[in-house]
Amino acid sequence: MSLDEDVVVTNACIKRIKALQVKTGKENLKLRLSVEGGGCSGFTYTFTMEDGPVEDDDKVYGREGAQVVVDEGSLEFVRGSTVDFTEDMMRSAFAVVSNPLSESACGCGSSFAIKNFEKNPAID
Amino acid sequence: MRASFTRRSLAVVTSYERCASITGSTTCAARVRTSPEEIPTSLFRFQEIRRRGPAKPQRSRYSSATSTWDPQSLATEGKLWEVDLTSGEGDGRRGVIQLAGPEAPKLVQGLITNDIIHLTGSKASLAAGFLTNKGRLITESVIIIATDAKEAPHGGPDKFFLDVPIDVKKGILRHLRLFKLRSKVTITDISSTARVCALVGLPHARVSDLERVREHWSARGAEVLGLGPDPRVILGDRFPLGIRGIIHFPDPSSPPSSLPSPARPLPCTQEAREALEALRFLYGVGEGPDLVERLPSECNLDLTHAINFHKGCYLGQELTARTQFKGVIRKRLLPVFLFPDSLPPPSSKLEADTQRPVQKLGDQLPPSNANPLAAPFLAGPPSPSPALAKGAEIIDEASGKAVGSLVSLATGSNLGLALLRLEPTLGAEQGVKLVARSLGAEGEKRQQQVLAFLPDWWPSGIDLATGKIPL
């Protein structure tokens, strides 16, 4: 885990992706993190599993054959975050934790607001 | 029931509870003619209070089944006001933003207080607010479905228009683009080719009149891009604020081309413009940049059918929902009349004249009056004493306590909208004298009396302590 990476992937996350690869039999299975508008704070994280090729504007993080893919547009909203796999009483799910750009988040953690909303380079 | 409105009864209308207990009724709309010398014969109307229990359908009170609603004949009778809201000057101007694409409803659904799924061919318009993540208004808006819209894959129409105040249009465009990210939506500002027009008539329009309005505008060479009743005020099956259309009225002087030609304004009079504004004020409907940064429930968005409390998450929902279910609405936007401060303060209780039948605003009014809607407000000097500025503080004169502030001022009449605390202004046992104070250009103090009242069409039994309608 190197600190200069844009997105940090935890061991729990890597472990889960690998487990899913074994379970589905798709060696190439990747976790895609993207950011969409929506939710009570404005933006939501969406996680999807895919096994297609990586696209040109995608950035790839991870190790040991487990990959987390983030497109450039979404990266501007999650730069510096950690992608984790949380297991607690509430849910077992991939989650973005400690997003330095997130100003506030709603109770369930699936939606968040951005700091310096107006100056974000992702916004044209 | 009818109540004569004299100097003596000023107290009554500022004391809603009192008035209700005396007459067993709630205040209704008001007509007031003002002159600088006096508060003259004016008419306050009262409606029966709807007791708790099974609600009496409003239909019976407001519908008159006999009338035909034909724009042409109404216009000749002087009972039709046609207003081009995009042209003209001032705060009231509206712009049009077009949203199209399979994900257009999804984008907007996450940003508005109302539920876009309900916008269909049979319900062609929705009122809604756009909020910040703190739950404050970016703007109010009327959303109108495009005539050629189809259903989007995940529900909702794939093409619709946002009718927004022109002064906040830039901000709202920015807001939409910010949350668009990669969704399949085209956001276009079409204010230069399309315009927001309103058609208000007496009697009030119904949904079944939409086709006649479409024909009326088409006959004048306009292309009707979207058309719907103004969704904010509903009385039974009628829409007192009329019908709103997004129309393109091509300029014949420009050369024909494949591009949409620049729009020509719809001819309309200043009088019609002011009548519509006065009407909107009387119904307690705020609009435009005056509402920016205010709370949606304080601006009556819950009463103007602009908030759906059953839909999923949207930006700013947390505070809005919490206010509705856990909190209180202490202040609301109320219609007010402004009078010269030199007039004697209210001193007496209401004397209701129950012998005479009521004529409701919006029903037939005296035939001698050529422009029954507008005349009561537009007659005489618009402002009886030096004009107050928006934001003027409103004070309970007896206690000296601030109870609110002036939010909007009508251009052609002494009407305004003020954000007032409900309990101290309308709930007082004795009538309170309210005054608005602001400083003039040269620092001189300006002061006027303020008369606030509850719009007649609000559901009766509004709880003044919580600002909500008891369920």
Whether B388 shows a pLDDT value over 70: the answer reads yes
At residue B383 the predicted structure's pLDDT band, cuts being 50, 70 and 90, is very low
In chain B, the percentage of residues whose pLDDT exceeds 90 is 34
Nearest to B110 among A37, A122, A123 (CB): A37
Average pLDDT of the residues in B173-189: 90
- From chain A, pick out residues whose CB is under 8 angstroms from the CB of B318: 40, 106
Q: Do B181 and A36 touch (CB under 8 A)?
A: yes
d(CA B382, CA B402): 26
Of B239-243, B251-255, B350-354, B385-389, minimum mean pLDDT range: B350-354
Q: How confident is the model at residue A111 (pLDDT cuts 50, 70, 90)?
A: confident
Q: Is the whole-model pTM more than 0.80?
A: no
CB A95 within 8 A of CB A8: no
Asked if A37's CB is within 8 angstroms of B179's CB, the reply is: yes
pLDDT exceeds 50 at position B52 = no
Place of tokens 């003039």: B440
Look at A36 and A108; give whichever has higher pLDDT: A36
Q: Lowest-pLDDT range, B27-31, B64-68, B93-97, B149-153? A: B27-31
Q: List the single best residue of B176, B181, B323 to mutate versus A (max A Cβ within 10 A).
A: B181
Is B184 near chain A, with CB under 8 Å?
no
Of A42, A74, A123, the CB nearest to B315: A42
Burial class (CB in 10 A: 0-12, 13-18, 19+), A98: exposed
Q: How many CA atoms lie within 13 A of B279 on its CB side?
A: 28
Does the beta-carbon distance from B316 to A38 stay under 8 Å? no
Which phi and psi (to 5°) does residue A31 adopt?
Answer: -100, 125
pLDDT of residue B375: 36
Structure tokens belonging to residue B175: 């807001």
CB-based contact, A4 to chain B, within 8 Å: no
Task: Reply yes or no on whether the pLDDT at A83 is more than 60.
Answer: yes
Residues B318, A111: C-beta atoms closer than 8 Å: no
Residue A77 pLDDT greater than 60, yes or no: yes
Among the partner-chain residues A41, A123, A124, the one whose CB lies closest to the CB of B133 is A41
- What type of residue sits at position A63? R
What is the DSSP secondary-structure string of B316-355? THHHHHHHHHTS---EEEEEEEEEETTSPPP-S---EE-S
Is B184 exposed, middle or buried (CB count within 10 Å of its CB: 0-12, 13-18, 19+)? Answer: middle
Give CATH for domain A8-116: 2.60.300.12
Chain B: nearest CA to A123, how far in angstroms?
A: 6
Tell whether B110 lies on the interface with A, counting CB pairs under 8 A.
yes
**Residue B361 pLDDT exceeds 50:** no
Tell whether the model's pLDDT for residue B14 goes beyond 60.
no
The mean of the pLDDT values for chain B is 74
User: Is ipTM strictly over 0.95?
Assistant: no
pLDDT band at B152 (very low <50, low <70, confident <90, very high): very high
CB spacing of A37 vs B133 below 8 angstroms: no
Q: What percent of chain B has pLDDT over 70?
A: 72
How close A116 gets to chain B, by Cα (Å)?
Answer: 12
Token pair of B8 as six digits: 């003596």
> A-B interface: how many C-beta pairs under 8 angstroms?
49
Residue B8 has a pLDDT of 25
pLDDT greater at residue B52 or residue A63:
A63
Domain edges within chain B: 2-58+328-452
Question: What strand order describes the sheet that includes A92-97?
Answer: A8-9, A82-87, A92-97
B254 vs B435, which has greater pLDDT?
B435
Best residue in A34, A36, A40 for a mutation probing chain B (most B CBs within 10 Å): A40
pLDDT value of residue B26: 29
Task: Say yes or no to pLDDT of B58 above 80.
Answer: no
pLDDT band at B412 (very low <50, low <70, confident <90, very high): low
Asked whether the beta carbons of residue B178 and residue A111 sit closer than 8 angstroms, the reply is no
Quick: pLDDT tens for B309-359: 998 889 998 899 999 999 999 999 998 877 777 665 443 222 222 222 222
Please determine, for residue A36, whether its predicted confidence score (pLDDT) is greater than 90.
no
- CB-CB neighbors (< 8 A) of B323 in chain A: none
Mean pLDDT score across all residues of chain A: 83
CB contact, 8 Å: B317 with chain A?
yes
Strand partners, B402: B395
- Whether residue B24 is predicted with pLDDT greater than 60 in this model: the reply is no
Strands A82-87 and A8-9: parallel
